[in-house]
Every structure is written in structure tokens, then in C-alpha cells.
Amino acid sequence: MSAAFEVKRTAAEFRAACDALRAEGGGFGFVPTMGALHRGHLALVAEARRRAAHVAVSIFVNPTQFGPHEDFTRYPRPLERDLELCREAGVRLVFTPSPAEMYPAGERTRVRVSGLTETLEGPFRPGHFEGVTTIVSKLFAASGPAVAVFGRKDYQQLKVVERMAADLLLPVEVVGFPTVRDPDGLALSSRNAYLSPEERTRALAVPRGLARALTLHRAGEESAGTLRRAVLDLVEPAATRIDYVTVAGADDLVPIADSERVGRRALLAVALFVGTTRLIDNIVFSEDNAPVTTP
């Protein structure tokens, strides 16, 4: 008989259900999401299940991490389908709170990580990471997981959450899971649903550019400028607007100037628009596999 599947809408009910799962023993894992689940999310759930006997998922489109001109209202919310996917994936508990539950009237508290949030996405999405760290710390406080799994597609988010958990002495292991891609290399994202077929084809310039840079790096190229240019050459004709193509330290996220060498391990991160859809992607040299085999 399969284990019971529960859905909770209030933090108090969710906390009690997490306490009960923890008491069953075997470890308790957590995957925070904004829903519109795809294979990437299900891979995070599978990783959590490898590491813990019981897994909870949250589905919450967090208003505080969206800017005023971003896609908060149109973000897809296929809740019934998401719940079914969670049930099929062996999730024991899903938390689907309302905004008022997570941000009750009179709330005044925000969690902010400095430094790591000030590069890459930081200047383009003011307040975004403060929204992320605030909601993730609330979700950790409500659930008390031993392990929480995040996708490496949002690499900066992963580093920021790792830092936050360490700084707040939270007893949770934050695990980063490799980006899951379609066979043609496009990183899975709930926002890919916004792309028209023609835009989706153009978006393939991103994984192809990253793959080309990775091939160059594997062949010994260490010039940050050359590696960056390898991506730019492919994405410039495809993108409607480029926010950044940046080489940065893989841990401190500090950009590396074109004139510098990257060394063995560094992050190459991209954020751009195809049409009105903003896409992000990245690779870490010496850590990640090629996004596509034919750059």
C-alpha cells in the first residue's frame, strides 16, 4: 500500500504534518517550488527521496521575489496537475499556502544575504533574492527539513540559500542538483511555456553557446573574454535583449574581467530575453556536463 499523501494550506497544519513525518524516522527532505512542475522539479524530488525517507514539497508563487514589471500574475498555476505529479513522484506532503498565510497582515521581516546577491541577477532583479531568502527561511522554519534540494539552473539562488542556511545556523543540508534539460539542451523552466515554437528554437543558442565555451575550456582556453565571447557570438543574434553573459567565481560570484584567466573552476552565467520571456542558464567549468553534445 502506498504511503498517505496530504495537502496542507496553513503553516500550522504543515508544521504539524512535518513533525509527524519526521517522527516516522528515516530522514525528512524538502523541495520548495513555485509549481508548474516539470521533469526538473521531479528530479529534485527524486534526489530528495534518495536522501530522505519522506519528502515534502511546497507550491507557492512567492510575490516578494517578483519585481513590479515581472510575470507574477501570469506565472502558470496548474495546481491540480502539480498535486497529481507530486503524488505519483512519492511525495508525502504538499504545502500550498495563500500569500496571506505566508505574509500575514502586519509582517515586517525580511531576510537578506549581502554580497552574493549583488552581482549577476542582483542588479537586474532588485529585491528578488530578498524575496527568495525570506520565503525559503519561512518554509525551512515551518518544515524543519534535514535536507533541501534546489536546482543548479538557479545557481546564484543556490549559493545564496546555502549562505543563508549557514549564517542562520539552520540545521539543513542544502543540496544543488544538476540542471535538467530537454534533449536539444534547453534547460527546463516553467517559463519555457511562454515561448512560441520560433522563440524556443532561438533559445537553443543559450545551451549551444554554453556548450561551445565548455568545449573551449576543456581544450585549455582560460581567457574569460574568449569564453564569454564564445557564448555572445551565438546568443547575440538570437536574443531580444541580453541582460548579461558573465564569467564569475563559482563560490563568490564575483565577475571575472575579460582580461583575466578563469582557472579550472568558474561560473559562466547567462540571462537574456527571447521575445518577452527571460531565460537564465549557466555552467560551472570542471563541474557540469556539456548542455548539448554538438556545440
Q: Which residues are catalytic?
A: 41
134 contributes a contact to ligand PAF by CB under 6 A: no
* Bridging pattern class, strands 54-59 and 93-95: parallel
Contact code string over 68-87 relative to ligand PAF, x by CB under 6 A: --------------------
Give the residue from 248, 252, 280, 294 showing the smallest Cα distance to 267: 248
- Tell me: does residue 132 bind ligand PAF (CB under 6 A): yes
Task: Considering only the stretches 27-35, 195-203, 212-220, 227-235, report the one whose residues sit in contact with ligand PAF under the rule CB under 6 A.
Answer: 27-35
Min dist. Cβ of residue 263 to ligand PAF (A): 28
The answer to whether 270 and 231 are in contact (CB under 8 A) is yes
Is 32 an interacting residue with respect to ligand PAF (CB under 6 A)? yes
Q: Say if residues 53 and 24 touch (Cβ distance below 8 Å).
A: yes
Helices (H) and strands (E) in the chain, counts: 10, 9
Cα separation, 287 vs 270, whole angstroms: 17
Residue from 11, 135, 248, 262 touching ligand PAF (CB under 6 A): that is: 135
> Looking at beta carbons only, is 64 or 286 nearer to ligand PAF?
64
Q: Is 154 in the site for ligand PAF (CB under 6 A)?
A: yes
| Nearer CB in complex with ligand PAF: 100/219 | 100
Provide the 8-state DSSP code for 181. B
Pairing relationship of beta strands 54-59 and 267-274 according to DSSP bridges:
unpaired
Letters for 157-176 (x = contact with ligand PAF by CB under 6 A, - = none) are x-------------------
Which range binds ligand PAF by CB under 6 A, 109-117, 130-138, 226-234, 256-264?
130-138
List 11, 33, 116, 170, residue binding ligand PAF (CB under 6 A): 33
Is residue 231 within 8 Å of 209, Cβ to Cβ? yes
The CA dihedral of 145, 149, 154, 156, to the nearest 10 degrees, is 60
**Which residues of the shown chain bind ligand PAF in the complex (CB under 6 A)?**
32-34, 62, 65, 132, 135-136, 154, 157
